[in-house]
Amino acid sequence: MLPDPPREYSLMPFWFWNDTLDERELLRQIDDFEAHGVYGFVIHPRVGLPRDCGWMSDKLLHFMRVAIDEAARRGQTVILYDEGMYPSGSAGGQVVAADPSHACRCLALADPDAPLPGGHELVHEGAFNGKRFRVVNRPADSVIRGLHYLGDGPEEEEPAMGDILNPDGTASFIRLVYDRYHSEFGEHFGKTIKAIFTDEPNALGRCREKTVWPGTAGILEHVNRLLGEDFTPHLPALWFDDAPDAERHRQRYRHAIRLRMEETWYRPLYEWCEAHNVALCGHPDRGDEIGCQRFFQWPGQDLVWRFVEPDTPTAIEGAESTQGKASSSAAIHLGRARNGNEFCGAYGPETTYDEFKWLAYWCLVRGVDLLIPHAFYYTVRGPRKVERPPQIGPNGPWWDQFKPFADACRRLCWLNATGRHVCDVAILTSDQCPWRAAKSLFEHQIDFNYLEDRLLLEGVAKADGEAIAVGPMRYRALVVEDEALLTPAVVEALSAFEAAGRVVHWPTTGEAVGAVSALSEIEPWFGEPEPALRVRQFEHDGARYAMLFNEVRTPTGELAWSSSSVPTEIDPATARESAVDTRDLRLDGHALRLFRLD
């Protein structure tokens, strides 16, 4: 029988501190969390805090101390949140208040005949289609969401966004937030405080302007360096749709900005956390980003705004459908201990308990092992009740049913985190993951990971005629959906693997799924594909396990069991074991089941 997993694999909900705080109430809520199987939390200062309890104020830090000390006493886990509120990079406006030159900047078109105002820097002057244009680097009208209502709400304060493409701006942010956290709570780092959460950093913040692009001092020089070519001739493509290859050049500019953010934002935070014995966790601002995950000790993503929903194509189509696999793949390849997913944020008051559980299962079967529900509310007073619902914790309608679900999630997260993924198929990706090939593999119960091209170029992944070895994985087949990724350097790294016929070009290879299946050496559990069934295999303590999830509401048909072994079913909530009749094996709608082969 499986043991009771450590508490650190508990659900880790966002705990919205959104009203006047009281020590006794904080302690009461922590006790209530524990009674319902929740043994940790992300302290998330949230809109609705009173003005005398501002971001990184002594008063706010005092209440954090109360909660952290209580968590330590109970053997619980705490994740600190690095902004007040989001996107990260402003320190609640304090970065810009400390130095106005660290305000968010942008590239914009300007009148070619007007004098440049103060703070505006000329980047380029030229002509397009017979008309002169001027590109300037200037301050952007950009903000973040703040911690305080204007009056009684629901209107909110909007602090100025910082320039996270400027390393000096990031250094200021680290001093104001990360250094302060360590000075206040350093004795808990690596013990009760396991990680710090950075939330969807965006080079433009919440920009009120629609026709600007991310920028900072010297941005064109950085873009040229990162792309390995002079981008100046392609600047018109950023604003003029009829410029040659406009969309391709826009994508390349965005790619350069992501690489710049790795240098100026993610790497400094990652290195600070490495030096202070905590993990950087959280997520970027797009669900398909995998490149920046190398700078998270715990890679992560975010299911928000109904980008992924049950019983719709979004579950396996579109950029957001890649996110669970993006974070878990990065964690496996880079040797990270955990990978996470914030989920259910802003799904709306109409969210059902079934949908909430479905989103957790959707993550788990893709290898996520840190589940961050959005959110538990300190109060639901006044406008707080409708601020990015649903409220899924003590103030919600499912609280009395919560503990078995929390216990199941803790066990499944533990198995995902400590087991070895059984998979020998990879999909080649750049810093943003493709989804079309993934959809077909999912529908045929062929599991996979995303393999970033940089890992091949850096020698982290090594290919020969038999396999691509990276971390604990040995891939026998590599799917290439985007042929543009096959640069000369990548082709050279894959030459022996390609010569052995192990690269499947999608969809140009006829019967591509069949080609992948023939190359894989993983024994399938089922003989016939079931389009809505997802299967994740892993090994744990010498046994082979499979996590099965039916992603649609309709029950599966009878599954054609093809393994020579007879499985045992394990209830994730209780670890109770039961025999399985493989002659009549089915999954109810939205059901997740766990099986073991000894």
In the predicted model, what is the mean pLDDT of residues 456-485?
Answer: 97
Residue 361, in any domain of the structure: yes
Per DSSP, the three-state class of 220 is: helix
563 vs 546: CA distance, rounded Å:
12
Cβ pair 204, 214 in contact under 8 A: yes
Token pair listed for 512: 């591509």
Residue 41 Cα to chain centre, angstroms: 17
pLDDT tens track for 63-115: 999 999 999 999 999 999 999 999 999 999 999 999 999 999 999 999 999 99
Can you tell me which residue has the tokens 């600190």? 80
Residue 121, in any domain of the structure: no
My answer on whether 469 and 556 are in the same domain is: no
The pLDDT, as a whole number, for residue 523 is 83
My answer on whether 410 and 438 are in the same domain is: no
The range of the structural domain enclosing residue 409 comes to 7-99+142-208+270-420
Residue 284, in any domain of the structure: yes
In the predicted model, what is the mean pLDDT of residues 527-539?
Answer: 92
Number of Cβ atoms within 10 Å of the Cβ of 501: 12
CATH of the domain at 158: 3.20.20.80
In the predicted model, what is the mean pLDDT of residues 381-389?
Answer: 96
Residue 280, in any domain of the structure: yes
193-199 and 77-81 beta bridge pairing = parallel
The pLDDT, as a whole number, for residue 529 is 87
* Structural domain count, the chain: 3
Which of 398, 420, 442 represents a domain boundary (last residue)? Answer: 420
Bridge partner residues of 139 (DSSP): 105
My answer on whether 495 and 570 are in the same domain is: no
My answer on whether 344 and 434 are in the same domain is: no
My answer on whether 408 and 494 are in the same domain is: no
Token pair listed for 85: 């509120």
The DSSP 8-state label assigned to residue 176 in this structure reads I
**Residue 525 clears pLDDT 80, i.e. is over it:** no
Residue 126, in any domain of the structure: no
What pLDDT band is residue 299 in, cutting at 50, 70 and 90?
Answer: very high
Q: Where are the beta strands (DSSP E) in 530-583?
A: 533-540, 543-550, 568-570, 577-579
Residue 107, in any domain of the structure: no
In the predicted model, what is the mean pLDDT of residues 124-137?
Answer: 94
Percent of the chain with pLDDT strictly greater than 90: 94
Which of 519, 546, 576 represents a domain boundary (last residue)? Answer: 519
29 vs 168: CA distance, rounded Å:
39
My answer on whether 169 and 22 are in the same domain is: yes
**Residue 222 clears pLDDT 80, i.e. is over it:** yes
My answer on whether 363 and 499 are in the same domain is: no
518 vs 524: CA distance, rounded Å:
11
Handedness of CA 251, 252, 257, 262 (dihedral sign): positive
The pLDDT, as a whole number, for residue 223 is 98
My answer on whether 435 and 558 are in the same domain is: no
Closest C-alpha among 406, 389, 397 to residue 18? 389
My answer on whether 320 and 370 are in the same domain is: yes
Q: Where are the alpha helices (DSSP H) in 335-474?
A: 353-364, 402-418, 436-443, 453-457
pLDDT tens track for 554-573: 999 888 888 777 899 999 99
Q: Is the peptide bond before 390 cis (omega within 30 degrees of 0)?
A: yes
Bridge partner residues of 341 (DSSP): 301, 371
Residue 149, in any domain of the structure: yes
Residue 178, in any domain of the structure: yes
Q: What is the end-to-end Cα distance of the chain in Å, rounded?
A: 12
My answer on whether 325 and 463 are in the same domain is: no
Token pair listed for 357: 């559980």
Can you tell me which residue has the tokens 């490495």? 274
My answer on whether 396 and 538 are in the same domain is: no
Percent of the chain with pLDDT strictly greater than 70: 100
Which of 397, 420, 443 represents a domain boundary (last residue)? Answer: 420
DSSP string, 490-534: HHHHTHHHHHTT-EEETTTSTTHHHHHHHH--SPPSBSS--TTEE
What pLDDT band is residue 138 in, cutting at 50, 70 and 90?
Answer: very high
The pLDDT, as a whole number, for residue 560 is 83
pLDDT tens track for 403-440: 999 999 999 999 999 999 999 999 999 999 999 999 99
Query: Which amino acid appears at position 51 of this protein?
Result: R
Burial class (CB in 10 A: 0-12, 13-18, 19+), 130: exposed
CATH of the domain at 507: 3.40.50
My answer on whether 19 and 82 are in the same domain is: yes
Per DSSP, the three-state class of 175 is: helix
Please tell me the total number of residues recorded for the chain in this structure: 598
